[in-house]
């Protein structure tokens, strides 16, 4: 096979790079401390401090990393990196990291351990998992991971093992918008912030939940006086402060605002009629659904004046097609989340901004670009993570007949896990394998989740820290940090095909292994070795690259690879022409308007077009085929709504104990409006209790005008019970404890806005 040749070339290359020192990134384990000593060198890789995975670069001196910065080979990044990304070296050298496998000696969750060798730990895990499979069937083991290579690895391993029960972190994060995209476009689109002139933002806070290239584009957008940003958020966030207008919308009511926009545009005939006619189906159903959703109607739900909707509707229309109604990532979540996300996408569609500069665009993947060019201009990758089809029902019913029929089997519904374990329905669950996943902090009702975990026979956790979830494990497998491991090739494509690769920056400081090594070693022990076409990370890369040594070399040296493909929007004839000039065979696709219009009529939706109305959804969930008003209440009869989000220096659960970062923000006092604080007799810094039906937790108060009087806000990821996270242990409040396990209809999203009471301490 070609890739074996590639692998030999690749290894040759790697060996060469070990001797040619200064500019060559070390990798493939060939470079250890010895090779690095006394040298000053740059290695380019991918950040892992949050899920944005920005391309980064490290300068290594004497085998120690000194500074992490952005990888300027990724054009949109420059040398920029966020505080978390730069603090990666402080995680690497953190004395509170896990450095050896641990095996439980006390009761589950008691936090008593003995150290073990990897050999012993892996043997134990393989024996236990095999025994569970033997006794209760493979389906009795759950596998969960955050998305990324860890998830791809684990999902593939789970399929070899035979369990259908694979979960990603999606249902606790972006699943609603992903689902809305799937039903509207059949795939996910991106936002061209650089070229937009007007953005309506529903809490997509790129200045506190950073993704460097998007954050940078948005910052320049905000600083440009000729552009306009309108932010709707119950809290005065950093992005709200950078906006031209901020409206403190009532939590959970985004949907009402968007429905009113749709109403106004349709009422006045102010939308892109030609686009709607040519590329979409189901517009008439929408007309009917938004008949009553007037600006006046929304006013009572959102607290925003009707005249504001009228004005913003007109401004957006005037800015078409260079306007974006920004959906956010995990912005508000309510039970109306599916409808909210769909309504936002449809607002974009009515503005005709799809495949227009300054609007929203389809991923220009290698496959898409090659098909258009009718030649292979960008290498396509092999999938190194085979998945066998498992014909067993899942415990959460994802992708099967019932409430979660539209939730992807690949991602599942995390909030359904506790009930399934405790009730043993639809069948018994006995084991759980988690890699880099911390549901006791990031998923609703950790109290119940913990109760369920206590019922299990065997839990194995792979993490960097002894997290709250790791504390529940039987075996903890300590992973190396991202600075100490090689990974396969990942796809970064948005505007143009781009690949990136995680390259080892220093040799592992301790016993730790990478997830690739861990999973591959388990597979070997359990008899699934033949499932994979590779044995280690270098073979994996070579297999992925299909014999393309040049691609691998670029990724080794530069950390990213792009292919000088010109960006095009399918509906911008000048950009289409530029693409055709470069790749003449692509002219065959050009339509009468000089566009690649076929891209929008051959989508992966049932009709092939953009679906304003989804028949499949309507058939099973009556009334959900088009966006319409559904129950948006998040207070559940309680006086306040507790909302949560990120700060610029932490993720939702991973970084709170990282030395540099813990000092920047070490707790999460609850944001409260002065009038609310006064009504409860609270002064800045006072302690009080938050309470609802499932939790009563201590909190401190941060008094600010920057929040609605009926709303509270907390940064995520605090209130840690794990004593091993010594810097953060016991500080702040874990807001997940207030969240209910009920999830949003259709998409299965966890609902992160919740009603609470304030009780004086």
Q: Residue numbers of the site for ligand SF4 (CB under 6 A)?
A: 47, 49-50, 52-54, 81-82, 84-85, 210-212
x/- letters, 691..720, toward another protein (CB under 8 A): -------------xxx--------------
- Segment holding 475, helix H or strand E: strand 475-478
Q: Of the two residues 430 and 646, which places its CB atom closer to ligand SF4 in the complex?
A: 646
Q: Of the two residues 211 and 305, which places its CB atom closer to ligand SF4 in the complex?
A: 211
Instruction: Decide if 508 contacts 484 (C-beta within 8 A).
Output: yes
Give the up-direction half-sphere exposure of residue 258: CA atoms within 13 A in the CB hemisphere. 35
Residue in 220, 578, 587, 598 binding another protein, rule: CB under 8 A: 220
Stretch that binds another protein, among 74-82, 174-182, 512-520, 582-590 (CB under 8 A): 74-82
Give the up-direction half-sphere exposure of residue 585: CA atoms within 13 A in the CB hemisphere. 9
Note whether 80 binds another protein by CB under 8 A: yes
Q: Of the two residues 81 and 160, which places its CB atom closer to ligand SF4 in the complex?
A: 81
Q: How far apart are CA 245 and CA 187, in angstroms?
A: 31
CB of 211 to ligand SF4, least distance (A): 5
Vertex 75 angle, CA 70 and 77, to 5°: 35
Burial class of residue 564 (count of CB atoms within 10 Å of its CB; 0-12, 13-18, 19+): exposed
Instruction: Decide if 212 contacts 362 (C-beta within 8 A).
Output: no
Note whether 222 binds another protein by CB under 8 A: yes
Q: Of the two residues 78 and 137, which places its CB atom closer to another protein in the complex?
A: 78
Residue in 83, 138, 505, 519 binding another protein, rule: CB under 8 A: 83
CB of 250 to another protein, least distance (A): 11
Residue in 236, 465, 579, 718 binding another protein, rule: CB under 8 A: 236
Note whether 31 binds another protein by CB under 8 A: no
Query: Cα-Cα-Cα-Cα dihedral of 28, 29, 33, 38, to 10°?
Result: -20
Stretch that binds another protein, among 178-186, 219-227, 336-344, 389-397 (CB under 8 A): 219-227
In 10 A of CB 389, how many CB atoms?
Answer: 6
To which residue do tokens 């998040």 refer? 634
Strand order in the sheet with 498-501: 489-491, 498-501, 560-562
Concatenated DSSP letters of 126-147 = HHHHHHHHHHH-GGGEEEEE-S
In 10 A of CB 431, how many CB atoms?
Answer: 24
Which option in another protein, ligand SF4, none does residue 50 bind, with CB closer than 5 to 8 A by kind?
Answer: ligand SF4
Q: Of the two residues 614 and 665, which places its CB atom closer to ligand SF4 in the complex?
A: 665
Q: Of the two residues 49 and 459, which places its CB atom closer to ligand SF4 in the complex?
A: 49
Which option in ligand SF4, another protein, none does residue 49 bind, with CB closer than 5 to 8 A by kind?
Answer: ligand SF4
Stretch that binds another protein, among 24-32, 139-147, 203-211, 477-485 (CB under 8 A): 203-211
Q: How far apart are CA 5 and CA 547, in angstroms?
A: 7
Residue in 1, 2, 66, 679 binding another protein, rule: CB under 8 A: 66
Largest CA-CA distance found in the chain, in angstroms, rounded: 74
Which option in ligand SF4, another protein, none does residue 750 bind, with CB closer than 5 to 8 A by kind?
Answer: none
Q: How far apart are CA 329 and CA 147, in angstroms?
A: 14
> Helix axis angle, 2-19 relative to 537-544, nearest 10°?
120
Q: How far apart are CA 213 and CA 555, in angstroms?
A: 19
Which option in another protein, ligand SF4, none does residue 644 bind, with CB closer than 5 to 8 A by kind?
Answer: none
Which option in another protein, ligand SF4, none does residue 459 bind, with CB closer than 5 to 8 A by kind?
Answer: none
Vertex 135 angle, CA 131 and 137, to 5°: 100
At 168, phi and psi to the nearest 5?
-105, 180
CB of 86 to another protein, least distance (A): 4
CB of 99 to ligand SF4, least distance (A): 23
CB of 53 to ligand SF4, least distance (A): 5
CB of 505 to ligand SF4, least distance (A): 14
To which residue do tokens 């095999």 refer? 130
Concatenated DSSP letters of 670-722 = EEE-HHHHHHTT--TT-EEEEE-SS-EEEEEEEE-SSB-TTEEEEESS--B--
Bridge partners of 230, per DSSP, are: 200, 245
Which option in another protein, ligand SF4, none does residue 53 bind, with CB closer than 5 to 8 A by kind?
Answer: ligand SF4
Which option in ligand SF4, another protein, none does residue 725 bind, with CB closer than 5 to 8 A by kind?
Answer: none
Which option in another protein, ligand SF4, none does residue 69 bind, with CB closer than 5 to 8 A by kind?
Answer: another protein
Residue in 4, 16, 110, 241 binding another protein, rule: CB under 8 A: 241
Q: How far apart are CA 135 and CA 30, in angstroms?
A: 43
Vertex 522 angle, CA 542 and 463, to 5°: 90
CB of 247 to ligand SF4, least distance (A): 25
Dihedral sign computed on CA atoms, order 701, 705, 708, 714:
negative
Helix (H/G/I), strand (E/B), else coil: 4: helix
Residue in 7, 227, 242, 628 binding another protein, rule: CB under 8 A: 242
Pick from 196, 87, 162, 146: nearest CA to 655: 87
Which option in another protein, ligand SF4, none does residue 52 bind, with CB closer than 5 to 8 A by kind?
Answer: ligand SF4
Instruction: Decide if 23 contacts 41 (C-beta within 8 A).
Output: yes
Note whether 637 binds another protein by CB under 8 A: no
Q: Of the two residues 54 and 125, which places its CB atom closer to ligand SF4 in the complex?
A: 54
At 356, phi and psi to the nearest 5?
-120, 150
Which option in another protein, ligand SF4, none does residue 245 bind, with CB closer than 5 to 8 A by kind?
Answer: another protein
Q: Of the two residues 249 and 381, which places its CB atom closer to another protein in the complex?
A: 249
Q: Of the two residues 68 and 259, which places its CB atom closer to ligand SF4 in the complex?
A: 68
CB of 643 to another protein, least distance (A): 16
Binding site for another protein (CB under 8 A): 66-70, 78-83, 85-87, 89-90, 207-208, 210, 212, 215-216, 219-220, 222-223, 225, 236, 238, 240-248, 648-649, 659-661, 663-664, 704-706
């Amino acid at each position: 096979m070609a890739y074996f040749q590639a692998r030999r070339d690749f290894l040759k290359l790697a060996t060469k790079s070990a001797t040619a020192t200064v500019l060559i990134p070390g990798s493939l384990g060939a470079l250890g401390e010895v090779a690095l000593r006394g040298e000053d060198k740059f290695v380019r890789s991918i950040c892992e401090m949050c899920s944005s995975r920005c391309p980064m670069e490290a300068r290594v001196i004497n085998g120690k990393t000194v500074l992490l910065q952005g990888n300027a080979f990724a054009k949109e990044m420059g040398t920029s990196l966020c505080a978390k990304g730069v603090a990666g070296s402080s995680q690497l050298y953190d004395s509170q990291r896990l450095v050896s496998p641990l095996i439980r000696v006390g009761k589950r969750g008691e936090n008593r351990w003995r150290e073990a060798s990897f050999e012993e730990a892996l043997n134990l895990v393989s024996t236990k998992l095999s025994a569970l499979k033997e006794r209760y069937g493979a389906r009795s083991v759950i596998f969960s991971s955050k998305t990324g290579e860890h998830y791809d690895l684990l999902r593939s391993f789970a399929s070899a093992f035979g369990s259908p029960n694979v979960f990603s972190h999606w249902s606790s994060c972006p699943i609603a918008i992903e689902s809305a995209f799937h039903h509207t476009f059949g795939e996910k689109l991106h936002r061209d912030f650089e070229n937009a002139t007007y953005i309506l933002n529903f809490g997509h806070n790129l200045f506190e939940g950073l993704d460097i290239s998007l954050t940078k584009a948005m910052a320049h957008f905000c600083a440009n006086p000729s552009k306009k940003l309108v932010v709707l958020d119950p809290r005065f966030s950093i992005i709200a402060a950078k906006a031209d207008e901020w409206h403190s919308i009532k939590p959970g009511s985004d949907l009402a605002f968007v429905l009113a926009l749709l109403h106004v545009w349709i009422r006045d005939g102010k939308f892109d009629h030609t686009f709607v006619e040519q590329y979409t189906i189901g517009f008439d159903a929408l007309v009917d659904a938004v008949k009553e959703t007037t600006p006046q109607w929304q006013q009572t739900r959102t607290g925003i004046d009707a005249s504001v909707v009228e004005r913003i509707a007109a401004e957006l229309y005037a800015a078409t097609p260079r306007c974006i109604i920004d959906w956010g990532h995990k912005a508000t979540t309510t039970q109306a989340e599916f409808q909210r996300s769909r309504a936002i996408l449809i607002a974009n569609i009515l503005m005709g901004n799809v495949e227009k500069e300054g609007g929203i665009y389809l991923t220009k993947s290698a496959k898409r670009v090659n098909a258009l060019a009718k030649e292979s201009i960008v290498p396509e990758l092999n999938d190194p993570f085979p998945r066998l089809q498992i014909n067993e029902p899942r415990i959460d019913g994802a992708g099967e007949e019932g409430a979660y029929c539209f939730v992807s089997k690949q991602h599942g519904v995390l909030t359904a896990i506790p009930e399934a374990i405790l009730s043993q329905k639809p069948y018994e669950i006995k084991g759980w394998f988690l890699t880099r996943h911390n549901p006791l902090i990031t998923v609703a009702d950790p109290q119940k989740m913990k109760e369920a975990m206590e019922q299990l026979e065997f839990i194995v956790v792979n993490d960097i820290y002894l997290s709250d979830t790791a504390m529940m494990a039987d075996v903890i497998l300590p992973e190396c940090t991202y600075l100490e491991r090689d990974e396969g090739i990942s796809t970064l494509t948005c505007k143009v095909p781009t690949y990136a690769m995680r390259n080892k920056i220093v040799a592992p400081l301790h016993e730790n292994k990478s997830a690739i090594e861990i999973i591959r070693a388990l597979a070997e022990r359990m008899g699934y070795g033949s499932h994979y076409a590779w044995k280690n990370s270098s073979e994996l890369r070579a297999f992925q690259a299909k014999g393309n040594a040049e691609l691998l070399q670029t990724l080794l040296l530069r950390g990213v690879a792009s292919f000088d493909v010109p960006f095009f929007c399918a509906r911008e004839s000048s950009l289409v022409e530029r693409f055709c000039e470069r790749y003449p065979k692509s002219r065959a696709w050009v339509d009468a308007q000089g566009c690649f219009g076929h891209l929008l009529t051959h989508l992966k939706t049932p009709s092939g077009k953009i679906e304003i109305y989804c028949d499949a959804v309507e058939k099973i969930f009556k009334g959900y085929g088009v966006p319409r008003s559904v129950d948006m209440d998040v207070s559940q009869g309680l006086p306040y709504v507790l909302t949560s989000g990120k700060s610029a220096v932490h993720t939702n659960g991973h970084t709170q104990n990282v030395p540099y970062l813990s000092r920047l923000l070490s707790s999460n006092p609850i944001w409260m409006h002065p009038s609310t604080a006064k009504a409860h007799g609270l002064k800045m810094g006072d302690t009080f209790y938050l309470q609802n039906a499932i939790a009563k937790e201590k909190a401190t108060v941060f008094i600010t005008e920057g929040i609605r009087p009926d709303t509270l806000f907390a940064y995520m990821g605090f209130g840690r019970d794990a004593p091993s996270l010594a810097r953060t242990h016991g500080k702040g409040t874990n807001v997940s404890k207030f969240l209910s396990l009920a999830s949003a209809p259709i998409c299965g999203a966890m609902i992160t806005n919740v009603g609470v009471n304030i009780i004086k301490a």
